[in-house]
Amino acid sequence: MTQPLAYIHPNAKIAENVVVEPFSTIYQDVEIGEGTWIGPNVTIFPGARIGKNCRIFPGAVISAIPQDLKFDGEETVTIIGDNTTIRECVTINRGTKDKFKTEVGKNCLLMAYVHIAHDCMVEDNCVIANSVQVAGHVHIGEFARIGGACAIHQFVKIGKHVMISGGSLIRKDVPPFTKSAREPLSYVGVNSIGLRRSGFSDEQVNLIQDVYRYIFLKGFNTSEALANIEQDIAATPERDEIVEFIRSAERGIIKGPI
């Protein structure tokens, strides 16, 4: 299934039914799972671990060395989960000695010109729109939706099921289940439509909204809000996810409504 004008290093491990189109280059120490399509003019450097049934479009560069002056040639990897689509000219750099890997989960869509820097973690089922630039050490939770042309500061954490407006500058952590927009980036509500599409009940959505009223709307500081949430709202996985995320937010969280 390999076109004669493609180059594949003899030590690369290519599974059955992989298609490699013309002018693509696959280096040694690369593994590609069954059913994956590698479009023309794709470059896959050492350390790439690409799952099954992925689609990688022209111009993508996977597992290039990090753009990090501290990188010292250590052996690291880039992991791409099954059924993930990587569109034109996406770049994904492999890890450094911090985490030794950069990882994109299963069933993700990375649109054209996205950059994922070293040591990032993108969990399953994320959609990252065109030209989003993700700096090093960023963690993006599952089912996140990030609008086009966003710029994400290094070490930022983005929670599960968030929706972030296009063109945003993301300097602080974004708590789970929220929508955010404006400049500076601010909370603009709970991602209720996205949550219901993902199977959350009205009861779960209402509880999440109650939690965020304490955090953003009732005039408490963060410590007071978390204490009152734990006192007033019964424990659920969603409540605990929000509380733990905010408690561990080393960069602080985004602002409340402006």
Choose the catalytic residue: 105, 119, 137, 159.
Answer: 119
Choose the catalytic residue: 136, 141, 147, 159.
Answer: 136
Closest listed residue to residue 158, CA positions, set 130, 188, 126, 183: 126
Choose the catalytic residue: 82, 95, 118, 141.
Answer: 118
- Mind giving me the DSSP string for 77-116? EEEE-TT-EE-TT-EEE---TTTSEEEE-TT-EE-TT-EE
Residue 118 appears among annotated catalytic residues: yes
Residue 115 appears among annotated catalytic residues: no
Q: Cα angle vertex 90, ends 162, 140, to 5°?
A: 25
Max CA distance (Å), the chain: 66
Helix (H) or strand (E) holding 181: strand 178-181
Residue 136 appears among annotated catalytic residues: yes
Q: Is 161 exposed, middle or buried (0-12, 13-18, 19+ CB in 10 A)?
A: buried
C-alpha 254/C-alpha 247 separation (Å) is 13
Active-site annotation, residues: 118-119, 136
